[in-house]
Structures are given as C-alpha cells and as structure tokens.
C-alpha cells in the first residue's frame, strides 16, 4: 500500500504503524464503566469506508487519520490526527 | 542429433559443455537446458510426482510441468527447476528427479500399478489406522515415494539484494504488445520500466515465423530494443519476472542476475528483488498454451503445439522425426506449416473440427499428412518415448499411427494472473474460448494476448495505444503514432479440453499427477466448486500452479456438471506468478544481518573487561564479567553482587529508553501518562512512575526527573522504549493535541552508567569536575541535577537505585561515554570498583522486590504488583477507569510475593507453579507462578518473586512450587517481596 502522508507525501506502508479505528472520543474521567468498555474494546468492522489511525513511525512520526476502503484498499484521504497545524 | 542444420536464435560458433545425470552433452549460447537436451536426442527428463511415470518436455516456458531438474551441485543445488527456463552455460550440471535408482529404470514406477490406492484425497482416507503409524511408518514411506526434488540442506552461499524502483509506466512482457507499449510510452519521455522474464526481448516473436514491418519478428524486436535504448528514460530489466501486483501500483519483480552463470561474480547478487512503484502499468504477459486431456497425454513426445514451434524456430531443434498434430483450430496448422518448412515429416493431423479449410487441406497434401477431420486421439503407445498415437476417425474406426512427436494445439489461456492478484475475477469469453482479465487493478491496462487479442497485428495495435495512453495519464502527452504492421491474420482459439474414450490415464495436472478420474471422484464426493475440487485433488497446486492444466481442469469439471465455463469460473490467482526464493525476499537481512545489534557507548570498554554478552531486544548487554579464576557464571555474579553490596560497582544502563520532554504542558502530559502525579515534582527531583495501558494493565515503569520548570527527562525499560514513545505521541497528538509540549527520544544521545554501592558517592564526587557538591544534604536520595565532568562536559546526575544500595546514574553525551566509564573505573579504583552486568543487576533487584520483565508481562495490574497506592484518585490517567473493573480488584487475583525455599539448599526455578501443600498437581489447584528467581549471595540461598493468589495476605504461609518440566517440586515459604533492607536505610546512606 501507498499512504499519502500530509507531511511527507506518498510513502510505502512499511513506514507506517497501524492502530485501528480513528475518531473515538476518550470518555470523561467520571464516565460509566460501559462507556469506558466501549471506548477500549468495541469496534466496528466496516465493509467499505473506514477511518483509521496510522502513525508515520519511520517518517514524521505524526499520527494520521486515513480514510480507506476496506474492500479495495483505496485511500480517499489522509489527514493529521491533530487537525490542521496551529 | 535433432539439431536443425540452420536457423534459430543460437550462437553456433560457440559450444557449451554440460552434464545431465552425469552424462556429457553440448549446446550453444541461446539454448535452454531443455532445448540442448532435445537437440541431443534426449526425450526422457524425469519421473512424475505420484506414479513415477516417465516424463519429457511439454512446453518451452515457465508453464513446464514435467521437465523439472535439480540444478547445480553442493550448496548451490536447487530442486524443481523447469529445464525450459535454464539458460545453458559452460559446465552446467543438472540431474533428473524423483527416480530410483535411475531415470530409465525406476522401481517406484510400481506406484502406477497401485494407482487404484492413490486416488484424489487418498491422504485423508487411507493410512488412518493405527494412528501411531502415521508418523513412524506411513509418512516417511510416502515422503520417500512421492515428491519432487530435494533441497541442498546446506546454507545458501549466494547473496540476494532488494531495490525500489519508481516509474511512470511499467510494461510487463516484451512480446509485440509489450514492446509496442514501451516504445509508445518511452518515445514520449515517460519513465518506462520494461520487464521481460526471458533473457531476450521479443516474447512469442522469437518462436513464430511471422513478420513485422517486413522483417522477421525477432529482428523487429531487436530493432525496437535499440529504439528503446535511444529513449531518454527507459529501463529494460531482462531475466526479470513481475511476480505479483499489490495495492496502489506496487509490483514485485525478481531479477535473476546471475542464474545464467555457474555462480555469481564477486560481490554480485544472485538475484535481485525489485519493488516497483508505477503510476501506470501495461500488462502484456501474453498467453499460455493449455493442456488437452486424453489417454496417455503425459508420454514423453507429447508436446504443446506452440512449444514445438519454439523449438523449431527459436532453438533450431527438431523435437521429433515424425509428427502428429492434434488441434481444433487454425493454430495447430501453423505448427504443421512450420514442421513442413523445416522438413519434418507430418504423419497426420487430427482436427477435432469436421470441416477443414481448403488451405489446410492443401498444406496437408503438400506434407503428405493424413487428415482426420472430426477425429480423436484416445491413446499413446511407447515406453519412455512416444512410438505411436491411437486415433479414432470420424467414422469411429480406431488405428495406431506411428509417430515420435504429438503436437497438441488445445488453445491458449491469456496470462491473466497479475490482473487478478487484487481480486479481479477473470471473465469467460465464449467467442475467444478463454478467460479474459476481469477488472484489473487501478492503473493497470491489459493488452495483447493477455487480453485475448491473439494475433500479432492486434497485439501491436493494442500495445501502441495502451503505451501512449499510459504515458499520457502519467503526464506525458504527445502525438499518436501508427502501430507497426504485421502479416498474420486474426486467429481463432482452439478448444479441445477433454477427449472421451481414453483407456489410459488422462492427466489434467501433469506435475501433481491429477487425472480426469480424480476430478470425477471429487465431484462424486461433493467437491464440485472449483476451489474445493482444487484442494481435494491438489490440481493446480504444484510448483507450476496449473499454468498449463488449470483452466482445462475447470473445463473437465464443467463438462461433468453440465455447467458453462462462465458458471464454473476459475480459482483465485495469487502471487507469486512463478516461484520466488525466500532468500530473495529476505535480501541481506539474514543470519546475523537479520537485525543489526545496537551497541552502547561503553561497549568497547566492556569488551576489554571480558564481558559475556546477551541480546536484550536489539541491544547487546554485558551479562557478567568473569575473572580468569572463575569457572562458573554464578561465581562471577556472586562476586559482582558482593562488590556492590560492600563497596561499589558500575553498570552500563545506556540501553534504558530516555525521552526528553519540554514545554509548559509537560507536567500535564506526565500526569495523564503515569498513575501518580508528576506535575508537582520540584525541579531537581526524580520520581518513580508506573504507566498503564488504557485497559488498566501495567504497560511500563521508570523514573522521570525534572531538570528545569519546563524540561523533564524520562527513562523507560529497555524493551518498551519505542512503544512508550509511540504511546506518548498518541496521547499528545490524538487525545490532547492542544497541549504545548514536545518530546523526543534521546536514548542514543546519552551514555548512562549506574554507580552503586556504599562507596558510590565518593566515586561520583571524584568523577565530577571539582567543586560539585554531592553531599547528602545537597544531593539527597531521588535528587537530579546537571553538573560537568571530564573537564566541562555536560553531565546529568540522578540519585536513583535499582540495587537497593546508595546509587547514582550518571549520564554524558554519547560521544563521551567511553571516556566517562574509564574515568569512573579510575576514580573507583581506590574503592575496588567492579563492573557488573545484567545478571547481578537482576539478582539485586529481586533481592529488593523491584518488578521487571517477568512481572511486567502485560497481565498484571499496579495493584497486583503492590503499587495500588500509586494510583492517584485525584486526577485522570490512562488506564484509571478500567483498572477499577471488579475482576481486577478481586482479592483472589495473584499478587506479587517473595518466596524462599523451606529447605534453604533447594533451588527455585522461574516458571514453576504454586500449589497448596498436599494438593494434587492439577490445574484446579493452581494458585500462581514464579516470575523471577536468583541465588542471593546476601542471603546465601535461592529466592524468588511470584504472583500468588491473594498473596499479600499469605506472608508466612508455605506452598508447593511445582515444576514438572524440570522435575522441580520444592516447598517454599511466602514472604514479602523484599529480601534486603526493607526500610531503605542503605538507599539514603
């Protein structure tokens, strides 16, 4: 796979570390046990578009949100997980 | 001799000598091993996989299923190499395979008579009883009898390399379509990579009599190659097979750099694995002629019709003296014409069609060949070579026609493999009688015979158009050029599949000895879908991956079920297209070079001290430093521990992860990383901390010091250093991106040494530049500060201890590490300082009950390790919520305890399980396990750390430490997990 890093350009996937689903909201400290359980363990397994976290470990070391189609591996977008740099 | 008097793309001025099965032969440059042996009149090349039947040469390319040889000798011997792919070189040595005792006289051929016992799936049905016989009797016997070549069994003496290659247009295959495409793209200035598996460009043009632009095809190919060399950005990779298509325009290719020589030149890799990243790809892989199934279709002398033309036209070899051509289309008649042109007798042409074109009839008349319109081939006769062919004519009359060559034109299968590697299923095209590529991967276009356009003219037009379009897509517009012109007309595609009426074995997969009957059996037993049939019969699963017989097998199944070819479909095509040596994929990363060692700045010094090394992750660390008189590691370790406990020792701790953290929000980040509060830590102090994973289990531990209000330095365990950094980056970038903090790994930037023991302060004071105050009031336990040493070198000092003794860690920039440790040794000499290694470090941390690898195993919580009070209740931190899960608070969870043997002379072993005294050794009585053990020189007996159910409440109890693997069964006493100085008086001095 080739991942278009927003900082480094298109790079081979061997430079990246895959984590899993992106966009999870870490619960508040006093949130319910269920909320924490879902945050840590519950994941969708979409057939199609998936927003996921990759880190460019052998590059800029930024965490990226990559939008990938799990059926075709087509990558629609790759953005810095922290949003636009301040 | 079967060498034709003239012609061919061989260099007759040079003679190459080689050996096959110990016999001497000759050939010429341009020959393959197969063509040279055929030219010498050899017909028998090997014995088959299951039945040990005699086999010859079927094909002239990578689809060859029969003529497999063991190539080279000694460590370079490689099994199962198709003789059709081996370029001849001077001194080549090859041997036939799977025969005993010799190729001509094979005892195992008796398997052929036993074939009723070896049907498809026989592995699953027979040899089932008695079960214990499988490993001892059946499997070894089957392995001797079946199978192909044998590996050399010794280390590969050659080396391999890997390279990346980026291009605008990758052209796969250099037949007419590929050459036209490469030229069309290259003349526009695009970066073109043209890969050709053969040593010579041209593809089928080298094997056919057709002409392009008025010159012979091979000559046109040479001219086009010259034109490509004039293009600015064209790279030609010959002897290079593109074996796989991967995501986003990535292709894997294998270049056989030195396989055409006896051995690679000095410093030359044997093979090169290319990873090619292409904006566009043109797949011009051509087509592969397919097997037809009829009785005796495996006898040496039965050859694919297109291969016959290759041997005639390219290699100037007559593969027989008297030929019969079996066809169902016009392509077989091309072979008739070429045979006639080379003055080889054509005894008969069996055309499955009942109507024969007048031009064909005229050709047959000219050749004096008998024509069997609507005829069938039902059997072959001979032994290790072909003597005659049993033909049934349209009227049903059977006769035997003498011949030593049967050319079979059963049609061509487009080489759709690479177009299907990403999942695109091939689509059946009834008009072309072929599976055509389904939707190719993005960026790929399929042209020429690979797309079912079989005529040379169509290939040239297809390639020219696709090459120009690919270049244009990649940003290289230009004018369109007309494609070169060819004289060959569009040809139909023959379709024979299976001929009924066989009285002999009729093979569908020659390499795995799968017959039509095996496919029928698979169907009867319910394995009807081709993916099931393939796995049940092993059809298409040999090293040739069914290149010649694969689609034919689908057709045989389709005929049995009455389904169409479209309904039957194909099995999946997966990389690699042809076998790839694991060595090529590994490249230089093998043996000791698999992963480089990381060496600390003190490595050379430790080596001088006689360190015994141990790998810890990527690092080499000193285990202990034996003295000449010491004969046992325990002697050395005991001496080192005693030195630290009584005087002073020095240990290289540079491998611990070091992360420097700066910024106004650094304290907030540390608070969320560690269970305890760090933001309140004063400047000049160090604190021990534990990190959890978000699921509540312990992730890592270490110390963090505050060097300035906004500057901190963290240490991690050696093993987790990269993961901790990554975790911190996640917490900062993903969870709290607004925090103003930055951090970076400085593990390699700092050399760090622990100086431990009652005399350590004196040594530290002597190491630092004059004027430093390290008195206990100025630099107490857990102090941190910046000093200088070695005459002005920045030096970081931390008063932390892993050993339980008064101790310091002293760090300098890595370049000064060697000088620092030598200075430490010099300063410590009056105090009889000793270097100590990882083992002594381990003994002392067990004596102190500090958790390390065995305890920090990812399954323990802070509470399990007796660190519940380090879990802040006043702030949020990673893992806080899930660490409070009821199951993790269960008092019966195993918690950290110390153990000592009741019989003080007994030895403890890590990994042993803990049982109540008197309880039988059953899993239901299991109460925990021993995580770490050591012999304590201070206590003079073995001790251990363990995780024991409800352990903290059981101090003083006796349990059984049971270790059936090493016959350990010891009564132990449960004690607190700290054996020495529990009050910590020594730490503070």
The three-state (H, E, C) secondary structure of B948-960, written as one string = EECHHHHCCCEEE
One fold for both B160-287+414-473 and B293-409?
yes
- Say whether pLDDT at B687 is over 50: yes
**Tens of pLDDT, residues B817-828:** 999 999 999 999
Residues of B in contact with A27 (CB under 8 A): 881
**Tens of pLDDT, residues B16-56:** 999 999 999 999 999 999 999 999 999 999 988 888 899 99
- Say whether pLDDT at B1 is over 80: no
Could you tell me the strand order of the sheet in which B376-382 lies? Answer: B376-382, B386-392, B398-402
Residues of A in contact with B733 (CB under 8 A): 62-63, 80-82
Distance from CA of B889 to the nearest CA of A (A): 14
Q: What's the CATH code of the domain at A76?
A: 3.30.2270.10
CB B454 within 8 A of CB B490: yes
Residue B97: the pLDDT is 87
Q: Which CATH superfamily is domain B293-409 in?
A: FAD/NAD(P)-binding domain (3.50.50.60)
Kind of pairing between the strands at B215-216 and B234-237: unpaired
CB B433 within 8 A of CB B146: no
Question: CA-CA distance, B56 to B301, in Å (whole number)?
Answer: 7
Q: What average pLDDT score do residues B545-570 get?
A: 94
Residue B87: the pLDDT is 98
Would residue A86 count as lying in a domain?
A: no
Predicted confidence band of residue A85 (pLDDT cuts 50, 70, 90): very low
Sign of CA dihedral B499, B405, B36, B198: negative
Q: What average pLDDT score do residues B945-969 get?
A: 95
Question: CA-CA distance, B908 to B911, in Å (whole number)?
Answer: 9
Fold for the domain defined by B884-988: Elongation Factor Tu (Ef-tu); domain 3 (2.40.30)
Distance from CA of A26 to the nearest CA of B (A): 7
Question: What residue of A is the nearest CA neighbor of B693?
Answer: A40
Residues of A in contact with B729 (CB under 8 A): 55, 61-63
* DSSP track, B31-55: -BHHHHHHHTT----EE-TTT--EE
The verdict on ipTM greater than 0.85 is yes
Q: What average pLDDT score do residues B876-892 get?
A: 96
* DSSP track, B112-154: HHTGGGS-TTHHHHSS-SSTTHIIIIIHHHHHHHS-------S
Question: CA-CA distance, B208 to B585, in Å (whole number)?
Answer: 35
CB contact under 8 A, A55 and B726: yes
CB B417 within 8 A of CB B285: yes
**Tens of pLDDT, residues A29-63:** 999 999 999 999 999 999 999 999 999 999 999 99
Q: What average pLDDT score do residues B803-815 get?
A: 97
CB contact under 8 A, B729 and A63: yes
CB contact under 8 A, A83 and B737: yes
Would residue A18 count as lying in a domain?
A: yes
Closest CA to B704 of B688, B680, B723: B688
Residue B111: the pLDDT is 67
Q: Exposure of B899 by Cβ count < 10 A (0-12 exposed, 13-18 middle, 19+ buried)?
A: buried
CB B171 within 8 A of CB B183: no
Predicted confidence band of residue B110 (pLDDT cuts 50, 70, 90): low
Question: What residue of B is the nearest CA neighbor of A31?
Answer: B881
Pairs of residues, one from chain A and one from chain B, whose beta carbons lie less than 8 Å apart: 59
R_g of chain B, CA atoms, integer Å: 38
B737 touches chain A (CB under 8 A): yes
- Say whether pLDDT at B115 is over 90: no
CB contact under 8 A, B881 and A82: no
B734 touches chain A (CB under 8 A): yes
Q: Find the CB nearest B730 among A2, A63, A74.
A: A63
**Tens of pLDDT, residues B623-657:** 999 999 999 999 999 999 999 999 999 999 999 99
- Say whether pLDDT at B141 is over 70: no
Question: CA-CA distance, B656 to B560, in Å (whole number)?
Answer: 68
Q: What average pLDDT score do residues B712-731 get?
A: 97
Q: What average pLDDT score do residues B176-205 get?
A: 98
B876 touches chain A (CB under 8 A): yes
The count of other CB atoms within 10 Å of the CB of residue B573 is 23
Residues of B in contact with A20 (CB under 8 A): none
Q: Which residues contact B699 (CB under 8 A, 6 or more apart)?
A: B691, B692, B693, B720, B723, B724, B727, B858, B879
- Say whether pLDDT at B988 is over 80: yes
- Say whether pLDDT at B103 is over 80: no
Question: CA-CA distance, B728 to B657, in Å (whole number)?
Answer: 13
Determine if the peptide bond prior to B130 is cis (ω within 30°). Answer: yes
Fold for the domain defined by B1-155: Ubiquitin-like (UB roll) (3.10.20)
Q: What average pLDDT score do residues B201-214 get?
A: 95
Predicted confidence band of residue B145 (pLDDT cuts 50, 70, 90): low
Proportion of chain B above pLDDT 90, given as a percent: 90
Would residue A73 count as lying in a domain?
A: yes
Would residue A85 count as lying in a domain?
A: no
- Say whether pLDDT at B554 is over 50: yes
- Say whether pLDDT at A86 is over 60: no
Residues of A in contact with B730 (CB under 8 A): 19, 53, 55, 63
Matching residue, tokens 């190729």 = B103
Question: What residue of B is the nearest CA neighbor of A19?
Answer: B730
Residue B598: the pLDDT is 95
Q: Does domain B657-746 have CATH number 3.30.70.20?
A: no
How is residue B960 written in tokens?
A: 């059984």
Question: CA-CA distance, B713 to B705, in Å (whole number)?
Answer: 5
Predicted confidence band of residue B152 (pLDDT cuts 50, 70, 90): confident
Residue B678: the pLDDT is 98
Residues 24-83 of B with CB under 8 A from A: none
Instruction: Show me where the domains of chain B are located.
Output: 1-155, 160-287+414-473, 293-409, 657-746, 884-988
Closest CA to B707 of B689, B687, B682: B682
**Burial annotation B251-263 (CB, 10 A radius, 16+ → b, else e):** bbbbbbbbbeeee
Question: Hey, which CATH number is domain B160-287+414-473, 1.20.810.10, 3.50.50.60, 3.40.50.150, 3.30.70.920?
Answer: 3.50.50.60
Residues of B in contact with A57 (CB under 8 A): 726
Would residue A62 count as lying in a domain?
A: yes
Question: What residue of A is the nearest CA neighbor of B884?
Answer: A33
CB contact under 8 A, B250 and A29: no
Residue range(s) defining the domain that contains residue A54: 2-80
**Tens of pLDDT, residues B386-417:** 999 999 999 999 999 999 999 999 999 999 99
B609 touches chain A (CB under 8 A): no
CB B74 within 8 A of CB B154: yes
**Tens of pLDDT, residues B225-276:** 999 999 989 999 999 999 999 999 999 999 999 999 999 999 999 999 999 9
- Say whether pLDDT at B300 is over 70: yes
- Say whether pLDDT at B737 is over 80: yes
The count of other CB atoms within 10 Å of the CB of residue B985 is 10
Closest CA to B916 of B945, B954, B968, B888: B954
Distance from CA of A8 to the nearest CA of B (A): 17
Q: Which of A61-65, A81-85, B2-6, B417-421 bottoms out in mean pLDDT, i.e. has the lowest? A: A81-85
How is residue B476 written in tokens?
A: 């290289």
Higher per-residue confidence, B421 vs B114: B421
CB contact under 8 A, B249 and A2: yes
How many domains are contained in chain A? Answer: 1
CB contact under 8 A, A2 and B733: no
Predicted confidence band of residue B113 (pLDDT cuts 50, 70, 90): low
Q: Find the CB nearest A61 among B275, B729, B882.
A: B729
Would residue A6 count as lying in a domain?
A: yes
């Amino acid at each position: 796979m080739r991942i278009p890093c927003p900082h480094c350009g298109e790079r081979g996937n061997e430079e990246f570390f895959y984590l899993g689903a992106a966009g999870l909201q870490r619960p508040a400290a006093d949130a319910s046990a269920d909320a924490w359980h879902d945050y840590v363990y519950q994941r969708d397994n979409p057939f199609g578009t998936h927003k996921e976290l990759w880190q460019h470990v052998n590059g800029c070391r930024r965490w990226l949100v990559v939008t990938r189609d799990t059926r075709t591996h087509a990558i629609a977008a790759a953005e810095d997980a922290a949003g636009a740099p301040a | 001799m079967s060498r034709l008097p003239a012609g061919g793309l061989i260099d007759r001025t040079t003679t190459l000598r080689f050996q096959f099965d110990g016999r001497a032969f000759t050939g010429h440059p341009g020959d393959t091993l197969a063509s040279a042996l055929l030219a010498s009149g050899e017909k028998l090349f090997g014995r088959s996989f299951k039945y040990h039947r005699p086999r010859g040469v079927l094909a002239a390319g990578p689809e060859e299923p029969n003529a497999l040889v063991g190539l080279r000798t000694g460590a370079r011997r490689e099994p199962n190499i198709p003789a059709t792919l081996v370029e001849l070189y001077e001194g080549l040595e090859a041997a036939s395979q799977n025969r005993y005792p010799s190729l001509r006289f094979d005892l195992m051929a008796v398997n052929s008579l036993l074939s009723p016992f070896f049907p498809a799936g026989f592995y699953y049905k027979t040899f089932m009883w008695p079960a214990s016989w499988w490993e001892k009797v059946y499997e070894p016997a089957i392995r001797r009898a079946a199978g192909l070549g044998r590996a050399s069994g010794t280390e590969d003496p050659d080396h391999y390399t890997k390279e990346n290659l980026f291009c605008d247009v990758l052209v796969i295959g250099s037949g007419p379509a590929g050459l036209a495409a490469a030229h069309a793209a290259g003349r526009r200035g695009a970066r073109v990579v043209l890969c050709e598996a053969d040593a010579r460009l041209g593809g089928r043009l080298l094997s056919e009599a057709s002409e392009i632009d008025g010159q012979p095809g091979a000559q046109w190919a040479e001219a086009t190659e010259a034109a490509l060399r004039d293009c600015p950005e064209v790279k030609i990779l010959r002897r290079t097979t593109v074996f796989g298509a991967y995501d986003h325009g990535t292709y894997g290719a294998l270049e056989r750099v030195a396989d055409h020589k006896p051995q690679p030149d000095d410093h030359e890799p044997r093979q090169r694995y290319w990873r090619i990243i292409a904006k566009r790809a043109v797949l011009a892989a051509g087509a592969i002629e397919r097997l037809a199934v009829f009785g005796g279709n495996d006898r040496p002398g039965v050859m694919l019709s297109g291969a016959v033309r290759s041997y005639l036209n390219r290699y100037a070899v007559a593969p027989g003296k008297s030929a019969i051509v079996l066809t169902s289309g016009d392509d077989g008649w091309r072979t008739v014409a070429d045979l006639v042109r080379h003055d080889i007798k054509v005894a008969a042409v069996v055309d499955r069609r009942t109507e024969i074109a007048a031009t064909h009839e005229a050709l047959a008349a000219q050749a004096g060949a008998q024509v069997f319109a609507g005829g069938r081939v039902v059997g072959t006769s001979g032994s290790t070579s072909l003597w005659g062919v049993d033909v049934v004519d349209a009227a049903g009359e059977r006769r035997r026609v003498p011949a030593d060559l049967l050319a079979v034109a059963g049609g061509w299968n487009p080489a759709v493999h690479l177009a299907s590697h990403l999942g695109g299923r091939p689509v059946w095209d009834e008009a072309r009688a072929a599976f055509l590529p389904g939707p190719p991967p993005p960026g790929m276009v399929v042209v020429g015979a690979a797309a079912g356009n079989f005529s040379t003219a169509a290939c040239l037009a297809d390639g020219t158009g696709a090459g120009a379009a690919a270049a244009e897509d990649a940003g290289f517009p230009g004018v369109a050029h007309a494609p070169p012109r060819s004289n060959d007309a569009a040809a139909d595609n023959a379709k024979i599949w299976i001929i009924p009426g066989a009285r002999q074995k009729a093979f569908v997969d020659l390499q795995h000895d799968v017959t039509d009957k095996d496919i029928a059996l698979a169907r009867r037993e319910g394995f009807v879908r081709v993916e099931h049939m393939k796995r049940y019969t092993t059809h298409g699963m040999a090293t040739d991956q069914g290149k010649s017989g694969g689609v034919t097998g689908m057709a045989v199944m389709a005929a049995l079920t009455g389904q169409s070819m479209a309904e039957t479909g194909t099995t999946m095509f997966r990389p690699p297209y042809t076998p790839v040596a694991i060595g090529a994929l590994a490249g230089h990363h093998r043996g000791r070079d698999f992963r480089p060692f990381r060496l600390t700045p003190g490595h050379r010094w430790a080596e001088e001290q006689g360190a015994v090394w141990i790998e810890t992750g990527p690092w080499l660390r000193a285990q202990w430093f034996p003295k000449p008189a010491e004969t046992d590691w325990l002697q050395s370790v005991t001496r080192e521990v005693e030195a630290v406990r009584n005087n002073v020792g020095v240990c290289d701790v540079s491998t611990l992860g070091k992360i420097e953290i700066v910024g106004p929000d650094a304290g907030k980040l540390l608070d969320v990383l560690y269970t305890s509060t760090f933001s309140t830590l004063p400047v000049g102090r160090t604190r021990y901390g534990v990190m959890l994973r978000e699921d509540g289990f312990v992730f890592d531990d270490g110390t963090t010091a505050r060097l300035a209000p906004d500057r901190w330095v963290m240490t991690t365990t050696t093993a987790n250093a990269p993961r901790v950094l990554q975790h911190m980056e996640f917490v900062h970038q993903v969870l709290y991106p607004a925090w103003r903090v930055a951090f970076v790994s400085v593990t390699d930037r700092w050399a760090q040494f622990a100086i431990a023991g009652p005399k350590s302060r004196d040594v530290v004071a002597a190491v630092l530049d004059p004027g430093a105050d390290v008195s206990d009031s100025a630099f107490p336990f857990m102090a941190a500060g910046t000093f200088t040493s070695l005459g002005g070198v920045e030096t970081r000092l931390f008063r932390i201890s892993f050993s339980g003794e008064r101790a310091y860690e002293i760090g300098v920039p890595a370049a000064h590490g060697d000088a620092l440790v030598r200075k430490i040794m010099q300063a410590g000499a009056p105090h009889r300082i000793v270097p100590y290694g990882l083992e002594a470090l381990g003994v002392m941390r067990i004596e102190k009950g500090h958790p390390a690898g065995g305890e920090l195993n990812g399954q323990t919580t802070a509470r399990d390790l007796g660190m519940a009070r380090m879990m802040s209740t006043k702030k949020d931190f990673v893992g806080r919520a899930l660490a409070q899960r009821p199951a993790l608070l269960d008092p019966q969870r195993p918690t950290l305890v110390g153990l000592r043997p009741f019989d003080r002379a007994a030895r403890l072993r890590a990994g042993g399980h803990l049982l109540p005294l008197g309880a039988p050794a059953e899993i239901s009585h299991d109460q925990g396990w021993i995580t770490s053990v050591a012999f304590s020189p201070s206590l003079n007996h073995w001790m251990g750390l363990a995780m024991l159910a409800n352990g903290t409440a059981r101090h003083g109890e006796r349990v059984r430490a049971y270790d059936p693997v090493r016959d350990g069964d010891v009564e132990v006493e449960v004690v607190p997990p700290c054996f020495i100085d529990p009050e910590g008086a020594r730490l503070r001095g």
